[in-house]
Every structure is written in C-alpha cells, then in structure tokens.
Amino acid sequence: MLRIAVPNKGSLSEPASAMLHEAGYQQRKDRRELVLVDNDNGVEFFFLRPRDIAVYVGSGRLDIGITGRDLLLDSGSNAEEIMQLGFAGSTFRYATRPGTAADVSEFGGMTVATSFSGLVTRHLAEQGVDASVVHLDGAVETAIQLGVAEIIADVVETGTTLRNAGLEIIGEPILESEAVVVQRTGAGEQGPRVQQFLRRMQGVLVARRYVMMDYDIRAEAVEQAVALTPGLESPTVSPLHNEGWVAVRAMVPSREAQRIMDDLYELGARAILTTGIHACRL
Ligand SMILES: Nc1ncnc2c1ncn2[C@@H]1O[C@H](COP(=O)(O)OP(=O)(O)OP(=O)(O)O)[C@@H](O)[C@H]1O
Ligand SMILES: O=P(O)(O)OC[C@H]1O[C@H](OP(=O)(O)OP(=O)(O)O)[C@H](O)[C@@H]1O
Ligand SMILES: [Mg+2]
C-alpha cells in the first residue's frame, strides 16, 4: 500500500482532503480519525500535524506527504518537493512597526519572533545579519506589542492580520509558499504507485483550471479560430453535415473562457458551449 501523510488541522487540512476526494480517494468523515485505509485504491492515509509531515516522509516511514513549502523548508528534513498543488498560496515575510527598520540589513542586535525558526535562522545567516530568533507557536504579530521582539517573520496571505496589528512588511518575501507533495530526498525515480497518485492529482488541477469548449465555425475561419483555442495538444476538428462548416472541440483555461467565447463569436463561430471537466488524465 502507498502510505501518504495528509495535514490533520490548519489551513492545509480541508483543501488537501477536498483535492484527494476529487481525485477519487476516500477521506475521513470524522476529524479525529488518525489513519484511513482506502483498500479500493491501495492507499493508507495518515492524518498528521502539517509541521510533522516532512519529518515522517524524510525518515522514510511514509512514501509521500502533502505539506506547505514553508513547513518543508523550516523542518530541515530529508524531504523534497515533487509537485505543486496550487492551494494555500502565501508569502513568508518580515514585518515590524513603522520606523523600526527599513531593511533586513538593519536587524542586527534585534529579536525576530516566528513559528518558522529554522527558516528564519537560516535566512538571517545567509544575509549575514546577527539577530536573535525567538520561537513562538502562533499569533506572532502580538509579540511586538508585548515587547518579546522588534520584528516578526510570518505567513502573509492578504496582509489583513499585519494591518490589523499596525505592522508593515519589510523587504522582499523570504519565500513564496503553497501546498506541495513531498517525498524523501534521494528516493529517486518515483515508482508506479506514486506516479499514478501524481497523475490523479494533476488530473484534479487540470479539471479545476480548464473547461471544454465546443463551437461551430465556417471552414474558412477555422485556422483563426483554433489559434484562439489551441487546446493542450491540438483541437479536434470534425466535419458538420451542413457543408462549409466544422465543429471544433478544445480545452481552454476557465479564467479565459468568456473572453475566448466573445472573440470566437466575433469570428463568426456559433453554438459556442463550455462544459466543466470532472476528471482527466493528460
Ligand atoms: N492565511 C493563510 N493563507 C494561506 N496559507 C496559509 C495561511 N495560514 C497558514 N497557511 C499555510 O498553512 C501552513 C501552516 O499550517 P499550520 O496548520 O501549521 O498553521 P495554520 O494553518 O496557521 O493553522 P493553526 O494556526 O490554526 O494551527 C503553511 O504552509 C502556511 O503557509
Ligand atoms: O495575511 P492574512 O490573510 O491575514 O493571513 C496570514 C495569517 O494567517 C495565519 O494565521 P492564523 O490565523 O493561522 O493564526 P496563527 O498565527 O495562530 O497561525 C498566519 O500565521 C498569519 O497570521
Ligand atoms: Mg496559523
């Protein structure tokens, strides 16, 4: 059985389980379940703290896991990223009260509070900055108000938490993060079961990002039309009973679907339809 680590709590937990469910895997019904055996798909899921997932996978006890890139790098585990999952996108940044410091190079002698002390200690060393790091479990924004630190380093998504705490971002992001699949470093070429898992997850990403578009167009305009809808490989063009017309079918990015429909209509295409994709293997 393929042994997969899945976040049991926090921001990664629900979207990870939703994605696995969309990929056809069984997911737990009760948040207290720790292990779930999906016999039909030959997979055993271990619901673990997001922070611990890279540690388990790096030790070789579990084959792969879903975690955040920031957590993976913070852990310093012997694990590496093999696929990006497109959710839980965030940046990891320094922030402080206005006037404290304008750049990382000014942090010397100050204290940085963070839940990602591995990541921050390494980053400060890389920058050649001699600052102390204090590890806190969460809500680090408050550390400045309470005088525990002058600087914080934390996950920023919309920036609302920082704004509400009266803090401002300093410098460039330390890191851009999102949910990723990890495996043990040096595990080498993925075996067939891991490859099948990755294909299923890829299928969910494609089904979420693309729609199927169908339309009819006069044969003389078909080259211009397929330039608008090139598909992933090549669009299907079929003859219509009505002479001089063809039917075209191609996948298009869902974000661009309405604009493409407008452009196709302008070209003379009619009966333009888009339909959702439930699942896919490219
Ligand atoms: N607001 C957010 N937007 C996007 N991703 C986030 C956000 N907050 C945390 N994450 C991501 O979630 C992961 C951290 O998960 P973890 O469960 O440790 O913390 P959490 O989501 O803050 O949960 P909690 O603080 O409730 O325990 C990291 O990969 C981080 O980038
Ligand atoms: O930029 P924003 O959209 O405001 O999101 C970022 C915030 O979300 C997370 O906090 P969470 O609510 O998980 O609390 P925590 O600090 O206890 O982890 C993170 O630690 C930031 O504080
Ligand atoms: Mg949090």
Looking at domain 2-87+178-188, its CATH class is alpha beta
Residue 282: pLDDT band by 50, 70, 90 thresholds? Answer: confident
Enter the tokens of residue 35: 């292990």
CA-137 nearest atom, ligand 2: 17
**Cα 140 to ligand 1 centroid, rounded to whole Å:** 13
Residue having the nearest C-alpha atom to atom 18 of ligand 2? 138
Same topology, domains 2-87+178-188 and 90-177? Answer is yes
How many C-beta neighbours within 10 Å does residue 210 have?
22
> What CATH number is given for 90-177 in this structure?
3.40.190.10
CA-161 nearest atom, ligand 2: 4
Nearest to 11 by CA among 75, 79, 67, 92: 67
Q: What would the pLDDT profile of 74-88 be if each residue is shown by its tens digit?
A: 999 999 999 999 999
Q: What would the pLDDT profile of 144-200 be if each residue is shown by its tens digit?
A: 999 999 999 999 999 999 999 999 999 999 999 999 999 999 888 889 999 999 999
**Cα 74 to ligand 3 centroid, rounded to whole Å:** 14
CATH 3.30.930.10 assigned to domain 210-276? The reply is no
Measured from the CB, is residue 157 less than 6 Å from ligand 2? yes
Q: What would the pLDDT profile of 192-239 be if each residue is shown by its tens digit?
A: 999 999 999 999 999 999 999 999 999 999 999 999 999 999 999 999
Residues 6 or more apart whose CB falls under 8 angstroms from that of 191 comprise none
pTM of the entire structure? 0.93
Q: Where are the domains of the chain?
A: 2-87+178-188, 90-177, 210-276
Mutate to test the pocket of ligand 1, among 6, 9, 12, 137 (most ligand atoms within 8 A of CB): 12
SS3 of residue 196 by DSSP: helix
Residue having the nearest C-alpha atom to atom 23 of ligand 1? 10
Amino acid symbol at 174: I
